[in-house]
Chains A and B, each alone.
Chain A
Amino acid sequence: MAPTPSDAQVVVIGAGIVGNSLAYQLALHGWKDIVLVDKGSLPNPGGSTGHASNFIFLVDHSKEMTDLTSDSVRQYEELGVFTRSGGIEVARTPERMEELKRRMASSISWGIDSQLLSSAEVTEMVPYVDPGVILGGFSTPGVGVVDSLRAGTLMREKATELGALTVMAGAEITGLDVVDGHMRGVRTTEGDVTAETVVIACGIWSPAIAAMAGASIPLTPAVHQMISVGPVPLFADTIGEIAYPIVRDMDTNMYERQHGGDLEIGSYAHRPILMEPDAIPSIEESALSPTELPFTQDDFDPQMEQALELIPSVLEDERVGIRYAINGLLSLTPDGMPILGETPEVEGLWSAAAIWIKEAPGIARAVAEWMTDGTPEIDVHGADIARFYDHQKTSFHVTSRSAEGFNKTYGIVHPLEQWSSNRNVRLSPCHEREQALGAVCYEAAGWERPYWYGVNEALLGDYGDAVMPREGEWESRWWSPVVNAEHLALRDRVGMVDLSAFAIFDVTGPGALAYLDGMVVSSMDVAVGRVVYTPALNEAGGIKADITIMRLDEERFRIVTGGGSGMADRKWFSDHLPADGSAQLFDATSALWTLGLWGPNARDVLGSITGDEVSNDAFRFAACRTIEMGPLRVLASRISYLGELGWELYVPIEQGVRLWDQVWDAGQAHGIVPVGIGTYAGTARLEKSYRAHGSELDLEHDLVEAGMARPHVKDADFIGRDAYLRQREAEPTRALCTLTLDDATSSRGIERYMMGGEPVLDPEGAPLTDSHGRRSYVTSAGSGPSVGAHLMMSYLPPELAVLGTRLQVEYFGERYPVTVAVTGATPLFDPDDARMKG
């Protein structure tokens, strides 16, 4: 073994596919003195890479994961370790056939070549599949298999050739050195290495290693069962590893893939078998490897019968034996996404965990870019380790959600589908009031948020077909026409909205203004009592956050952001605080409660409670100030995400119920309705063409494309300013538009409403592609009850971003005509903002 280096620019822990990819990518990005450490021996140190089935399906409903997978395949192909075999997801049920149509839509949206097949066509490609068992398939020719161990070896070799890498195999991490929250080095059984940057890339061992530094990587080891049967006579003549497409038997949560003369059958159907991260056996104690546990036959027996149904010609042959069977360990996370990025707990300690073979090289590139200059080309915010709230790092949360998520691996997962485990963790002070009103709660960042209120079913009669009732089963799931009734009632009268899930950070100190001005696009040098809605960019000009900031005092500001991005935003703002301590950030999320009050009658309601002046002249739009409401001092902020007159009202959380009751009581005379998040975050903002972070706004889009560029750029420097100035000068390549659905009628004569993610096509049915090869797809979709149309947002090539352009959207295999109704920032509903600002 090479002598142990005493210091390094970066230490990567774990020499599986992730660590190897990362070491290589860091070397490519100019890092020197990279040390890759693993306690096992190479090329297979005993982690999940060593027993992976190594196949890569390309299409995921998540654009982020699809892009990362495509990049990975490109990298594997460059290394010469990828074998294209094609892959088919087969359907046994009509529901699955519908899901395959949705897969088809995703493949068009993300630009992956795929097609739907009849059962006979499937059997033509995979002769051992019984066509009588299936209804059809979704075929992706670009699917293939990879030699992940070979890939890892090649990447280590290349990084070594670049003079950047030293490998320490057989070195177990015994400790991480942290000083004042900064990474300082690693201790190993083969010697210590000082390093200010350390990446944990060791899969199921990651939580234990992170804990050495006081950080959390919330994942759990879980079992995936796999057997290998053979020799299969049909495969006797196969040259190489694979000649037949890989089959995913989606309805049984299984896959079947040729591996030389054998057929590997894997399952995600069995009961979730989770392990405590500290219960993983050592290498020496393991019969095969620490991640290849003894097979538990009983769990797999039902799957064997299902496999026998699908591929009887192979499995009924008594000469075909079960040659290998394992319970392979892999990493599960509470939300199914990887865990990437710098840990919020320790500066310089990074995570690259819960990553599958199919996406590892792509993720490694993104993380390396992120580590190098903070700007990954593919936005990985969905996988950001900073997304987790403290309660989401508990083993209770991790195990309950991972267990629930396990069987969704091949499931048909609705975009609004709610978790059933570990609910009721964060409750609004008014939760009981809301329950009494029949609140139907969806979860956001652990909060139970009313999505609509059962009590408002009474409104359905008032509005009739204006609530845009839905006939399609899919879009009726996790939805109620009451959402649209609440929307209409709010626009007609007034509504109150529980906004508990806001994340709230108070920034204070003599340097607060300068600090915030350097963080966001809009000028913060505004009068006390002003509310500023502004994006924050990263260095590359990608949209990092989308927030409102109130100037409460000369040296006091309040940042308000969505709960979903709250923790990532907190890390972003905290990381950039001035080193001299002239500005401080305090997370006030759990100290304050927010009630939204909006609608044409909002002023009347508020005025009836407060003695303070709330007229338009006295309390202008985008102003905030403290008012008295009975016994409460309430910070009222006159802005709106719904495009209506009204206020966000902030009180200490223990006074929330009193605030609710006062507004509720006073509102009765003005027809007040409780309004859920379905209206607040869905229908109302779409009518106003308001963009949502994570849907329209992310690191891959800029303000110019999003139609959010303002006439002037402030003089003060801010993060991303240079990039933003360049974006403003460049020829636009796409523009965000709002589309209206012209005719919702399907071939079966029922009205269908898109949910988001669908591909946008030209009138001939061809996908729209911009000059960078990016496809147009629906970023958000929902009802627009007040404009009488189903609305969708999409980035379109500039030449098509013209009012009145006729296009199509594909939904469940059918195409529907749409028209560009909004370009730029002028919305369909109340275009001059008279309601909101009046």
Chain B
Amino acid sequence: MILVLIEHDTGVVESTSLQALTFARGLGEPLRGVAFGDGGARALEAAGAYGIEAGTHIRAQESHAPGAWAHAIADLAASTSSPAVVAAGTDRGHEILAHVGARASAPFVANCIAAERDGDAWNLARQRWGGSLLEDARVRGPLTLLTVALHAVAADAVPDAAAVAVDEIEPPFSEDDQRVRKTAFEATSTGAVSLGDARLVVGGGRGVGGAEGFVDLDALATTLGGTVGVSRAVTSAGWRPHAEQIGQTGERIAPDLYIACGISGASQHMVGCRGAKKLLVINTDADAPILARADYAVVGDLHQVVPAITTEVARRRTDDPPER
């Protein structure tokens, strides 16, 4: 059986793990889900709809670091003679499989978009450069570890899923496993929608002109219940904090609409907003590279256009709808 790491938020399976499950179903082996911590069993049961036949809920403590979890997965893979472990291409997925790979001396291939068994080897296609480049690779060995590139596969439930047989284990974590300990979780101020989850993102680039120029973008994001994101040029210039950076070395976003203002469209940035369903570009230059990827565009100075949109939204909310 192929093991699939199921990430969840107190029992609710992450959409990225559903994508990974959908991907793993195509590998030609039955799947066993693996979930950690509180709610893990519920998550595994829910994952049944996405094709796992069995599930292992590994009890773990809050203080456990991913490295400890990896120890448990490596042991499970060994005891079940799994040919592969699959996880979503999230920070956590990458990290855990890296530890599994180190422990098991097994190769780990990150951000796969396709995989095919070929005897004792795998033929893989994976993303490099955040997805700007693809690599066809071949890897051989008894155990292969794969993460699935985000948004490369649409999550797809199986029509007639059977119930999942979930077992539960509590592995004996060693001293070494617990050298790295999670000691706290510091919640960010409540209310803010995180970039990765936002349905609407208002993006600003070098074209915003400076830190003070983001007032207009903040206002629109607030009005629309969305979040502000920025390009690397903006964080490198110190105009906005790095946490707001969208791109290869920042956040990946997947909103319903991404409104990109004053952004030229460097690939560093574009790989971070590939998950957006629709892209609206506001730019003074009708020929900026980003327009080649845009669904909609407004040509004009963002400092005129963006406030006008904010005002128009507010007007429609307060006024009677105009006659049409």
Chain A interfacial positions (CB closer than 8 Å to B):
1, 40-43, 169-170, 283-284
Contacts and interface: CB of A to CB of B under 8 A. Distances in A.
Given A1-B287, A40-B287, A169-B286, 13 more contacts: A1-B286, A41-B285, A41-B287, A41-B288, A41-B289, A42-B285, A42-B287, A43-B285, A169-B285, A169-B287, A170-B287, A283-B289, A284-B289
Contacts of B289: 41, 283-284
Contacts of B288: 41
Contacts of A284: 289
Nearest to A42: B285
Interface string B211-248: 00000000000000000000000000000000000000
Nearest to A171: B287
Nearest to B283: A41
Nearest to B285: A41
A42 B286 CA distance: 8
A169 B285 CA distance: 10
Interface string B276-297: 0000000001111100000000
Contacts of A40: 287
Interface of chain B, helix or strand or loop or mixed?
Answer: loop
B232 to A, nearest CB: 13
Nearest to A1: B286
Interface centre among B286, B287, B288, B289 (most CB of A within 10 A): B287
A824 to B, nearest CB: 61
A284 B293 CA distance: 14
B288 to A, nearest CB: 5
Interface of chain A, helix or strand or loop or mixed?
Answer: loop
A43 B289 CA distance: 13
Contacts of B286: 1, 169
Interface size class of B (residues with CB under 8 A): under 10
A1 B292 CA distance: 13
Contacts of A169: 285-287
5 contacts: A1-B286, A40-B287, A41-B287, A41-B288, A170-B287
A40 B223 CA distance: 35
B205 to A, nearest CB: 14
A517 B239 CA distance: 72
Contacts of B287: 1, 40-42, 169-170
A284 B292 CA distance: 12
B253 to A, nearest CB: 23
B249 to A, nearest CB: 15
A40 B285 CA distance: 11
Nearest to A169: B287
Interface in B275-324: 285-289
A324 to B, nearest CB: 11
A42 B288 CA distance: 8
A41 B288 CA distance: 6
B239 to A, nearest CB: 15
Contacts of A41: 285, 287-289
Contacts of B285: 41-43, 169
Interface string B151-166: 0000000000000000
A40 B264 CA distance: 12
A169 B287 CA distance: 7
A170 B286 CA distance: 9
A719 to B, nearest CB: 45
Contacts of A42: 285, 287
Contacts of A170: 287
B38 to A, nearest CB: 47
Nearest to B264: A41
A1 B283 CA distance: 13
A652 to B, nearest CB: 59
A383 to B, nearest CB: 31
B235 to A, nearest CB: 15
A14 B48 CA distance: 61
B138 to A, nearest CB: 29
B283 to A, nearest CB: 9
Nearest to A153: B284
A290 to B, nearest CB: 13
A773 B287 CA distance: 46
Nearest to A168: B287
Nearest to A283: B289
A188 to B, nearest CB: 13
A42 B287 CA distance: 7
Interface in B97-156: none
A189 to B, nearest CB: 12
A504 B288 CA distance: 53
A837 B287 CA distance: 71
A43 B287 CA distance: 10
Nearest to A44: B285
B311 to A, nearest CB: 27
Q: Which 8 residue pairs of A and B lie closest in terms of their CB atoms, listed nearest first?
A: A41-B287, A170-B287, A169-B287, A41-B285, A41-B288, A1-B286, A42-B285, A42-B287
Contacts of A43: 285
B103 to A, nearest CB: 39
Contacts of A283: 289
A5 B200 CA distance: 39
A283 B285 CA distance: 16
Contacts of A1: 286-287
B148 to A, nearest CB: 29
Nearest to A170: B287
A1 B287 CA distance: 8
A170 B288 CA distance: 9
A53 B288 CA distance: 23
Interface in B63-119: none
Nearest to A41: B287
B281 to A, nearest CB: 12
B17 to A, nearest CB: 35
Interface centre among A40, A41, A42, A284 (most CB of B within 10 A): A41
A41 B286 CA distance: 8
A741 B188 CA distance: 86
B89 to A, nearest CB: 26
A359 B205 CA distance: 33
A42 B264 CA distance: 11
A675 B161 CA distance: 106
A39 to B, nearest CB: 10
Nearest to A288: B266
A170 B287 CA distance: 6
A167 B287 CA distance: 12
B234 to A, nearest CB: 16
A287 B287 CA distance: 18
A283 B292 CA distance: 14
A40 B288 CA distance: 9
Nearest to B299: A1
A692 B285 CA distance: 52
B213 to A, nearest CB: 17
B165 to A, nearest CB: 52
B299 to A, nearest CB: 9
A42 to B, nearest CB: 6
A169 B283 CA distance: 15
A167 B286 CA distance: 12
Nearest to B286: A1
A537 to B, nearest CB: 46
A179 B287 CA distance: 32
A487 B287 CA distance: 66
A561 B255 CA distance: 74
Nearest to B236: A323
A195 B289 CA distance: 29
A43 B264 CA distance: 12
A41 B285 CA distance: 7
A43 B286 CA distance: 10
A482 B74 CA distance: 94
A592 to B, nearest CB: 55
A530 B289 CA distance: 68
B161 to A, nearest CB: 45
A810 to B, nearest CB: 50
A1 B286 CA distance: 7
A103 B81 CA distance: 84
A283 B267 CA distance: 13
A241 to B, nearest CB: 15
